[in-house]
Amino acid sequence: MTTPQLDIEGPGAPPRRNGELAFSEPWESRAFGLAVALDASGVIEWEAFRQQLIATIGVWEAAHIPDDESWSYWRCWQDALEQLLLDQGVIGDDDVDRRSEQLAARAPGHDHEHHHHHRHDH
Amino acid sequence: MSISERLPISMRTEALESILVERSLVDPKVMDAYIKMYESDVGPLNGAKVVAKAWVDPEFRERLLADGTAAVAELGFKGPQTEHLEVRENTGQVHNVVVCTLCSCYPWAVLGLPPSWYKDPAYRSRIVREPRAVLHEFGLELGADVEIRVADSVSECRYMILPQRPAGTEDLSEEELAALVTRDAMVGIATVAGPS
């Protein structure tokens, strides 16, 4: 970048960040990163994702009042991404359900049958 | 959707990521890099630099208002969500405020990721119906003679506001001016205050 370096710290520091967290929970940032990375590698097209996001938000809004506390932008984002990948045949109908169940079964608190918990790394 | 409603959404995100990683469709390190970039590196400072330059350089201001995408690219700012950037200028007569009623589109490359209120259904619907009341709630009082225009990011367009340069800043450098510019002013829910 060729622009002049600004004073980043100090009282006159410009709004380097949004002044608040973009993500309130880690999964939100993963859902965000997934969509951006899939767009960058060409697995999805941004405009197709945007249209699916619009549709998903529209469905939520048709069923709720604007102030409804269950609103979650990133949930709509996750649902839209899943739906788009389903429609494109990238994932199958039950893929996410089944993997979610597997992950839930391994998570502490969900695991009642085994006495040792598996860690999953990726 | 029965399972999806029973399990926490975080588990679905993790499941989707693990499936796509397994199939080599996504690289977690690439995801990490994008998340870090938009969480900590790309933010409203970029837009503040654009605004300050437009205030001191009339020719750049012309280019910015004519073709936002090309003008901000001169400063090195580009990326997804900024391919069709349109910059609206606020004046003493017209005050523009940005919304995306459909899906919260936002010019990431110059403003970072949007704040939560920008994505809220209440902001997205109310700013269109009653902009003056919403701006009042944000603490912005505009004269009755000021026309309010709501720039709705339908289609592929993303908007950014070029706020009015505050009075008493004639002697400030471009860097000092950029330090005055806030994200809220570039979305249009605030004006830029002069140096304190």
Per the structure, the complete domain to which residue A57 belongs is given by 29-63+71-106
pLDDT at position B153, please?
85
Mean pLDDT value across residues A56-74:
91
Residue B146 and residue B67 in one domain: yes
Q: What is the ipTM of this complex?
A: 0.85
Q: Are residues B132 and B83 in the same domain?
A: yes
Per the structure, how many domains does chain B have? 2
Examine residue B92 and state whether it is found in any structural domain, yes or no.
yes
Inter-chain touch B45–A25, beta carbons under 8 Å: no
Q: Indicate the number of domains in chain A.
A: 1
Does residue B131 contact residue B150 with C-beta atoms inside 8 Å? yes
Reply yes or no on whether the pLDDT at A121 is more than 50.
no
Is residue B192 assigned to a domain? no
Same domain membership, residue B173 and residue B95: yes
pLDDT reported for residue B79: 76
Query: Cα Rg for chain A, rounded, in angstroms?
Result: 19
Does residue B165 fall inside a structural domain? yes
Q: pLDDT band at residue B116, thresholds of 50, 70 and 90? A: confident
| Per-residue pLDDT, A107 | 60
Q: Is residue A49 classed as helix, strand or coil in its secondary structure?
A: helix
In chain B, the percentage of residues whose pLDDT exceeds 70 is 95
Shared-domain flag, residues B89 and B160: yes
Residues 10-29 of B with CB under 8 A from A: 10-21, 25-28
A93 within a domain of the structure (yes/no): yes
Q: Is residue B11 domain-shared with residue B102, that is, in the same domain?
A: no
Model confidence at A104, pLDDT cuts 50, 70, 90, reads confident
Q: In terms of Cα–Cα distance, which of A53, A45, A59, A39 is closest to A81?
A: A53
pLDDT band at B143 (very low <50, low <70, confident <90, very high): very high
- pLDDT category at A108 given cuts 50, 70, 90 is low
Handedness of CA B32, B15, A69, B156 (dihedral sign): positive
pLDDT tens track for B152-163: 987 678 999 999
**B78 shares a domain with B16:** no
Model confidence band, residue A12 (pLDDT cutoffs 50, 70, 90): very low
Answer whether 0.95 is exceeded by the pTM. no
The arithmetic mean of pLDDT across residues B72-97, rounded, is: 91
* Contacts with A7 from chain B: Cβ below 8 Å: 175, 179
The secondary structure of residue B166, as a DSSP letter, is P
Same structural domain, B142 and B91: yes
Model confidence at A109, pLDDT cuts 50, 70, 90, reads low
Task: Examine the pLDDT at B168 and tell me if it is beyond 90.
Answer: yes
pLDDT per residue as tens digits for the range A21-52? 678 889 999 999 999 999 999 999 988 999 99
> Could you tell me if residue A87 is inside a domain?
yes
Residues B61 and B22 in one domain: no
pLDDT at A122: 42
Are residues A96 and B21, on separate chains, in Cβ contact within 8 Å? Answer: no
Same-domain status, B82 and B176: yes
Instruction: Provide the 10 A C-beta neighbour count for residue B6.
Output: 12
- Does some domain include residue B105? yes
Q: A with B: how many residue pairs have Cβ under 8 Å apart?
A: 188
Mean pLDDT, range B29-58, rounded to an integer: 92
- Count how many Cα atoms sit within 13 Å of the Cα of residue B54 in the half-sphere of its side chain: 28
Residues B115 and B178 in one domain: yes
Q: Cα-flanking dihedrals φ and ψ of residue B160, to 5°?
A: -135, 145
Q: Which chain A residues touch B126 with a CB distance below 8 Å?
A: 66
B68 and B26 co-located in one domain: no
User: Do the domain assignments include residue B120?
Assistant: yes
∠ at Cα B159 (B158, B162), nearest 5°? 155
CA distances from B135 to B181, B183, B185 (A): 18, 15, 12
Domain presence at residue B196 = no
CATH number, domain of B89, equals 3.90.330.10
Domain of B28, in residue numbers: 2-40
Asked if residue B193 lies in contact with residue A28, where contact means CB atoms within 8 angstroms, the answer is: no
pLDDT of B107 strictly over 80:
yes
Give me the pLDDT at residue A74, please: 92
User: Mean pLDDT throughout A76-104?
Assistant: 94
Does B193 reside within a domain? no
CB contacts of A32 in chain B (<8 Å) are 34-35, 38, 113
**pLDDT score of A1 more than 90:** no
Q: For residue A11, is it within any domain? A: no
- B120 and B51 housed in the same domain: yes
